[in-house]
Amino acid sequence: MWIEPNERKVERIQFLNENGKLIGSMPEVSDEELVSLYKWMVLARVFDQRALKLQRQGRIGTYAPLSGQEAAQIGSASALAPQDWIYPSYREGAACFVHGFPMKNFFLYTMGHLSGSDAEGAHVFPVQIIIAAQCLHAVGGAWASKYKKENSVSVAYLGDGGTSEGDFHEAMNFAGVYQLPMVFFVQNNQWAISVPVGKQTSSKTIVQKALAYGMAGVQVDGNDVLAVYMTMKQALDRARKGEPVLIEAVTYRQGPHTTADDPTKYRDGSDVETWLAKDPLKRIKLFLFEKGIWNEALEEQEYAKAEHTVSEAFEQAVNTPKSNVKELFDLVYEQKSSQLAEQQQSLASEEVWK
């Protein structure tokens, strides 16, 4: 029997509609968990807005905004266990913060400081700029975890554009063949810089690519933090049993690809407005208000707290002594090779870093 392209129907998981109304029955999530998810989303939004302003002021380098993707990142990262690993691209600041990565260090990273990649004990790999390369690293980590019989899952975060890269497909194939504890979390934010998802793949969905690699897949409303959280919990349970999973979180990048990009050159304003109406913070906020576990006083208090947290993290970064060339040689390998030591000594004799 012929298998026709795109004949398989994909049903998107959703618990909250755009107006914060519950669809179907309420999953087993406590009020405390709901409030925690929203607080993290508020912090992520405040951080993102501040980072954009700082970049425009020339106080940090190029930055990739995450506004619009808070539910996808916070919901998924909040489901992780402490021993699980995150392999991020350049837009996953929110997910990294939830998993313990210091905000101060993220600011240092944007300033070009060498310690900006120091996770300080958090299970977060350094930011990967090369598109989808983190998928290969995550598979390596998952394979090591399986070999050592650890109870950890490796999660590779990427965008829809990353699914066009060979590294993504090689990693998917490897994870499927060796049944690794692995979750591929694709944030389909509709645009890979100026290329729309419709020109990124001819598949109706990204999640159906899981079929080719013998793994489970699920599509979730990436602006519904409740749906993302519950879906990720289920995915992690499967991954711990050696069943790799592909998740497609359908969301939207509200701002530019990076601060070096002008989205007005390629995006239609009406399309942006349509997605802004689906804002992930608005959705969960309305739900919390209706449940009676959140109010305007708490809202104002939380935003003030988030502003303070971000300001404090930035001040810590600004007051951190600048890194120098000498440190480069100490951060390549755990044990410095003779060649590196020779290069370091050579530069020292030339007084490069004095």
Cα separation, 342 vs 344, in Å, equals: 5
SS3 159: strand
Find the angle CA(286)-CA(271)-CA(222) to the nearest 5 degrees.
Answer: 45
CA dist 135 and 163 (Å) reads: 10
Hey, how many other C-beta atoms are within 10 angstroms of the C-beta on 229?
A: 23
First to last CA, the chain: 72
Nearest to 236 by CA among 308, 322, 142: 142
Closest CA to 303 of 31, 19, 29, 50: 50
Active-site residue, 87 included: no
Active site residue 90: no
Q: Which two tokens stand for residue 135?
A: 């998928």
Does the annotation count 253 as an active-site position? yes
Residue 9's φ and ψ, nearest 5 degrees, are -85, 135
Given the residues 8, 56, 147, 266, the one annotated as active site: 266
- On whether the CB atoms of residues 67 and 259 are closer than 8 A, the answer is no
Amino acid (one-letter) located at 351: E
State whether residue 201 is helix, strand or coil. coil
Give the number of other Cβ atoms within 10 Å of residue 114's Cβ: 16
Check 253, 283, 308, 333 and give the catalytic one: 253
Query: How many CA within 13 A on the CB side of residue 200?
Result: 20
Q: Which one from 257, 267, 308, 333 is the annotated catalytic residue?
A: 257
Burial class (CB in 10 A: 0-12, 13-18, 19+), 274: exposed
Beta-sheet pairing, 195-196 with 191-192: antiparallel
Angle at 232 between CA 19 and CA 241, to 5 degrees: 160
Active site residue ranges = 253, 257, 266
